[in-house]
Amino acid sequence: VTKTESNKKQASVTKVIASSGSFKIELIDKIGSLDSPSLIEISKSLAKEYGQKSILTEKTIEIYFNRDGALPFVARFQDHIIGYIIGLPLESLSQNPWARLDENYGKFNTIYTYAFVIKNEYKGNGYAKILKKVYLNWAKKRDEIFYITGHVKLGIAPKFTGDIKIINQIENWQGTGKVFEYYRRNLDPEEIYVSKPDSPKANTI
C-alpha cells in the first residue's frame, strides 16, 4: 500500500458465504474504512436495548472485526450493509468479570456473540434468521469451538432452538435498567467431535 493509497478509504476484504438475489452474507477477513459509516449507523439501533457501549466507533470496529479468532459477518442488500453479527473468543473479553467467571474461560472453546443486528426495515423477511444460521454453522466448523454464549433480554434465550442453558441473570445490564440473561449454546451436545481433531468442524462450506 502506497502513502497515497493509505489516505484513501479502504474496501473490506470479504468472502461471500451465502446469497439470494440482492441479499448476501459475507465473512469478513479484514474490515475496510469504506464500511465503517454504515456499521456505526446500524449499531446505533442497539443502544436502546443494549446501552451506549454497543454503538460502534472506528476504533471498536477495528478491534472487533479484525481481531484474531473473531467470527464477523455482514449482511448486504443491493451491496449496502443492512446488518452484522460478531463472535469473539471468550478470552478476548477478559476485562469483563462475567467472562472470567465463565467455567470455560481459558479453555478457548467458546465464542461470545458480541453483537447481532439487522436494520429495522429489513426485519421480518428471514434475513436475520439466515445471518444467524450462517454464523452458527461457521462456529461449529471452528476447531475446538464447542460453545456460543451471549447476553439477551430476560425471556429471549429459552425461545432459542438447540441445546441452550441459562447461566445467570444480570440486573441493569450495561446501565440499561433491564434484566439480561447470559446463555450458553452447546454446539456439540452429542459430543460427536470432542475426540476427533480431524472432524468436519475444520472444513469450510
- Evaluate if residue 201 carries a pLDDT over 50: no
Residues 21-27, mean pLDDT to the nearest whole number: 97
Alpha carbon dihedral 29, 31, 35, 40, in 10-degree steps, equals 120
Distances (CA, A) of 46 to 25, 39, 71, 110, 121: 20, 11, 19, 23, 14
Residues 22-32, mean pLDDT to the nearest whole number: 96
pLDDT band at 6 (very low <50, low <70, confident <90, very high): very low
What is the per-residue pLDDT for 48?
A: 83
Number of domains in the chain: 1
User: For the chain, where are the E strands, in sequence order?
Assistant: 13-20, 23-30, 71-77, 80-89, 110-118, 147-153, 163-170, 180-186
pLDDT band at 191 (very low <50, low <70, confident <90, very high): confident
pTM of the complete model beyond 0.85 = yes
Residues 39-63, mean pLDDT to the nearest whole number: 92
pLDDT band at 204 (very low <50, low <70, confident <90, very high): very low
Q: What percent of the chain has pLDDT over 70?
A: 90
Residues 132-149, mean pLDDT to the nearest whole number: 96
Q: What percent of the chain has pLDDT over 90?
A: 79
From edge to edge, which strands make up the β-sheet containing 147-153? 13-20, 23-30, 71-77, 80-89, 110-118, 147-153, 180-186, 163-170
- Evaluate if residue 1 carries a pLDDT over 50: no
CATH code for position 31: 3.40.630.30
- pLDDT tens figures, 74-121: 999 999 999 999 999 999 999 999 999 999 999 999 999 999 999 999
What is the per-residue pLDDT for 194?
A: 60
Residues with Cβ within 8 Å of residue 103, at least 6 apart in sequence: none
Identify the domain containing residue 105 by its residue range.
3-202
CA atoms within 13 A on the CB side of 30: 5
